[in-house]
Amino acid sequence: MISFFTWSEFDKSVDHISKECKFLEFSGIYGIPRGGLCLAVALSHKLKLNLISEPKKNSLIVDDIYETGITLSSLKNIEGATFFVLFSKIKPTWWNTVHISEKNEWIVFPWENTLNVHSDRNEYINKRGLS
């Protein structure tokens, strides 16, 4: 199943995360390359946080999607870090999410090239051995 996430939905998600983080203090915001970069930039403006080039103590760390956990798990033990994703394919435990999606759902984000949806999905599935 393929779902298209719109800029309007993205803006609402940024507002949601901003409200959740409004009373927290961060040393900066780090977006996981590539999927988390758009979210990090939007949140840096909304929360008036500096973008940082690597995650560090007390930072806000964001990504587009939590699927296998490989990416965020490697950063899990950063002291005082708060983690947010736009979508999670499982119920969050130590990270936060705005949306829960189905395991077989392929999310197309508004910054992605819609002409490459099927090839991007197939490449991801093959690379991760999820077929």
95 three-class SS: coil
Task: Record the pTM.
Answer: 0.87
Taking the C-alpha atoms of residue 115 and residue 98, their distance in angstroms, rounded to an integer, is: 26
Instruction: Please name which of 70, 82, 75 lies closest in space to residue 130, comparing C-alpha atoms.
Output: 70
Taking the C-alpha atoms of residue 59 and residue 49, their distance in angstroms, rounded to an integer, is: 10
Output the pLDDT for position 131: 58
Domain 2-128 has CATH 3.30.565.10: no
pLDDT, one tens digit per residue, over 39-87 is 999 999 999 999 999 999 999 999 999 988 888 999 999 999 999 999 9
